[in-house]
A and B are shown apart, each in its own frame.
Chain A
């Protein structure tokens, strides 16, 4: 039996195949490789850490269960993106009847968004967009996927993704006019981690 360290050089597609064949460690390696990226996708899609946590957990469980349906026509990471985005959308829909946007209470001294006013504004503006436009912007502009990759994730033509991005940006522009300069300036600052 191979140990997980033996899997580090194995491709994603091979890992998935080994998982389907019964290798108990293969999917753990896939999880290790992609968990941070999928977390970012889920968080940016739903804008709420708790919802994102639930969504990404659902996504990995779904991927685990449905690995045999992966046909290799796209990259594993694209397939995972698709599942994660779907789970995030589902979570948002469950949330929406009672709380259309992540709750922000100015009186809550411990709100995690209190120090990220600008990011919050951007998220609030994103939340006003139609879901399809928002997803396109999250994948292309925020997650850095190519238009082709985003099209595969969303199951639409690349031209549709371009169109949604264009319309989404146009809709966001007036909402974020006051933030553009500040964020662009911040983006040029050295990253501190």
Chain B
């Protein structure tokens, strides 16, 4: 992978021939190579570079590239933490230890690397690029509307009692619907269309009906669960912040790939998410159901994952007047990053659970 493999770790390099009396250099050289760049990261960067190329070419597509270079539509962008670098301007280090990063902070520091979900690359003849490029965006928007509408209706129907109700009621029932990002707000607002009704029927035919006891049903009625598919790339650095955003109902984007994952995942339903957490915490599923706040389908370490936000059972209450988004957002919670197939025999966390203060 790197040139270091071609270097005998016990052969001192130029300039430091007699400067390893303790063997530290040999020790450092002997550490295993990190290996090649992970495929998921290659895809991520390729997508970002493709977007850069598109911007560079005046939004025109180019053909013939490899590595998954592809156009990226605006609404699908997820920008990593754009906050300024703490300490970069503060000059926290001494002059002697200063690196070019201080003097050339523009070398990537302020660029705000953009993470893009993958889109299949398609090359069209130049004369048709502009018109054709808009078609996928229209199709994507339409499918998002249909799928999100179906999800909304399907989820509510799975809770029982609301099947066949007006879809605007459905949107009002979903926790955090008012604070939802543009994509999901559009989905909710358009859910009364004929397409979403048809999609909801399709969802209904593929899902089993509700089978919860009355207590669990009451808990659900008091504490609806919000489902998102942001596709956000979760890192150690942004886990807490993103979990709080999910709890507050603002994940930023709707990612189609993650939305598809959510549709197929057992954690993509209130019952499935509750089962996952119930196994994790060794609690009755019905008890957990009332504590669920939100589930977001994300990416972690190159794989799909689900971020489940659960109200703290010691401080939150599944009943009472804490049903609004603001009430939920003001409670202490815990976020669990789990595999998308989390459940009996597959219940574990991909990162240690994080507590979210009110």
For the complex, give the distance between the alpha carbons of A183 and B32 in Å: 10
Chain A nearest CB: distance from B82 CB in Å?
A: 11
Q: How many residues of A contact B (CB 8 A)?
A: 100
Specify which of A39, A57, A142, A154 is in contact with B4 (CB 8 Å cutoff). A142
Q: How many residues of B contact A (CB 8 A)?
A: 84
Q: For the complex, is A117 an interface residue (Cβ under 8 Å from B)?
A: no
User: Chain A 33-68, CB within 8 Å of chain B: the 1/0 string?
Assistant: 001111111011000111101111111111111100
Closest chain B residue to A187, Cβ basis? B30
B24 touching A169, Cβ below 8 Å: yes
Closest chain B residue to A32, Cβ basis? B67
B236 touching A99, Cβ below 8 Å: yes
A107 touching B19, Cβ below 8 Å: no
Q: 26 A–B contact pairs at CB < 8 A?
A: A4-B65, A4-B66, A24-B57, A32-B67, A39-B34, A44-B34, A51-B236, A55-B108, A59-B108, A61-B111, A62-B108, A85-B100, A86-B105, A87-B108, A95-B236, A99-B236, A112-B301, A132-B98, A144-B7, A146-B15, A155-B99, A168-B24, A172-B24, A180-B23, A183-B31, A187-B10
Task: Known A144-B2, A169-B22, A180-B24; judge A158-B15 contact (CB<8 A).
Answer: yes
Q: For the complex, is B141 an interface residue (Cβ under 8 Å from A)?
A: no
A57 touching B99, Cβ below 8 Å: no
A147 touching B13, Cβ below 8 Å: yes
> CB-CB < 8 A to A184: which residues of B?
10, 23, 26-27, 30
Chain A nearest CB: distance from B121 CB in Å?
A: 12
A141 touching B348, Cβ below 8 Å: no
Q: For the complex, is B314 an interface residue (Cβ under 8 Å from A)?
A: no
Closest chain A residue to B42, Cβ basis? A35
> CB-CB < 8 A to A35: which residues of B?
37, 42, 45
> CB-CB < 8 A to B111: which residues of A?
58, 61-62, 65
A66 touching B107, Cβ below 8 Å: yes
For the complex, give the distance between the alpha carbons of A142 and B32 in Å: 9
| B86-132 contacts to A (CB < 8 Å) | 86-88, 93, 96-101, 103-109, 111, 113-115
User: Chain A 76-111, CB within 8 Å of chain B: the 1/0 string?
Assistant: 000000111111011101111111001101011110
Q: For the complex, is A71 an interface residue (Cβ under 8 Å from B)?
A: no
> CB-CB < 8 A to B9: which residues of A?
187
Task: Known A108-B352, A109-B348; judge A99-B45 contact (CB<8 A).
Answer: no
> CB-CB < 8 A to A18: which residues of B?
none
| B27-44 contacts to A (CB < 8 Å) | 27-34, 36-38, 41-42, 44
- B contact face: mostly helix, strand, loop, or mixed: loop
Chain A nearest CB: distance from B104 CB in Å?
A: 6
Q: For the complex, is B349 an interface residue (Cβ under 8 Å from A)?
A: yes
Task: Known A85-B99, A87-B109; judge A50-B236 contact (CB<8 A).
Answer: yes
Task: Known A142-B31, A184-B26; judge A94-B85 contact (CB<8 A).
Answer: yes
Chain A nearest CB: distance from B11 CB in Å?
A: 10
Specify which of A51, A58, A108, A130 is in contact with B235 (CB 8 Å cutoff). A51
For the complex, give the distance between the alpha carbons of A180 and B27 in Å: 6
Chain A nearest CB: distance from B38 CB in Å?
A: 8
For the complex, give the distance between the alpha carbons of A169 and B350 in Å: 35
B101 touching A60, Cβ below 8 Å: no
Q: For the complex, is B80 an interface residue (Cβ under 8 Å from A)?
A: yes
For the complex, give the distance between the alpha carbons of A89 and B96 in Å: 16
B25 touching A169, Cβ below 8 Å: yes
For the complex, give the distance between the alpha carbons of A154 and B96 in Å: 12
Complex A-B, nearest 10 residue pairs according to Cβ-Cβ distance, in ascending order: A187-B30, A62-B108, A50-B235, A147-B15, A173-B22, A155-B100, A132-B97, A144-B4, A58-B113, A86-B101
For the complex, give the distance between the alpha carbons of A158 and B348 in Å: 49
Chain B nearest CB: distance from A117 CB in Å?
A: 12
Q: For the complex, is B201 an interface residue (Cβ under 8 Å from A)?
A: no
Specify which of A37, A57, A141, A156 is in contact with B29 (CB 8 Å cutoff). A141
18 further contact pairs, Cβ within 8 A, besides A61-B113, A122-B27, A135-B99: A1-B64, A27-B49, A36-B36, A39-B38, A40-B1, A53-B38, A57-B41, A57-B45, A86-B109, A96-B87, A105-B352, A130-B93, A141-B24, A141-B25, A141-B28, A142-B4, A143-B3, A144-B4
Q: For the complex, is B14 an interface residue (Cβ under 8 Å from A)?
A: yes
Interface-central residue, B4, B80, B113, B235, by most chain A CB under 10 Å: B113
